[in-house]
Amino acid sequence: MKHLIVRAFTAAILLSAIAVLDGCSNPYEKVDFSSFRKPEATYRSLSFYSLNDSLDADVMRSQLRMMKEGGFGGAFLHSRPGLLTPYLSQEWFDLMEVGVDECRKLGMEAWFYDEDKWPSGF
């Protein structure tokens, strides 16, 4: 409940700030609240899709469809420990293309989280 109150308060502040910057006295008159019921992929959460084991195109497609059905707007395709498909091999790139194509068909965003098992900056 506390999180909902904080989110509502934050939203009210943001709407008010937008209204002031836009020269509008009522921040709610320019907001299309119907877009909150079924937001575009860009405004939905993205799954941190941990790719491990031997990757399979049909399994990837199936899992991405499940993410779409679960309300996700896209996925970060990210190699993780346990990956048996050789990282950055032709097979890897072919499977990344499968993931991107399936996301496109589903109206989802595909992002690459490409640092394999090393943290950013190394």
Alpha helices in 1-122 (DSSP H): 2-22, 57-69, 90-106
pLDDT tens, position by position, 27-36: 566 677 777 7
**Which is higher by pLDDT, 7 or 75?**
75
Sheet holding 74-83, edge to edge: 46-53, 74-83, 109-113
Instruction: Mark residue 8 as left, alpha or beta (left: phi above 0; alpha: psi -120 to 50; beta: remaining).
Output: alpha
Residue 33's pLDDT is: 73
Per-residue pLDDT tens digits for 88-115: 899 999 999 999 999 999 999 999 887 7
**Paired tokens of 54:** 């031997």
**What is the reported pLDDT for 106?**
97
**pLDDT at residue 18 greater than cutoff 90:** no
Q: 31-88: per-residue pLDDT in tens? A: 777 777 788 888 888 999 999 999 999 999 999 999 999 999 999 999 988 999 998 8
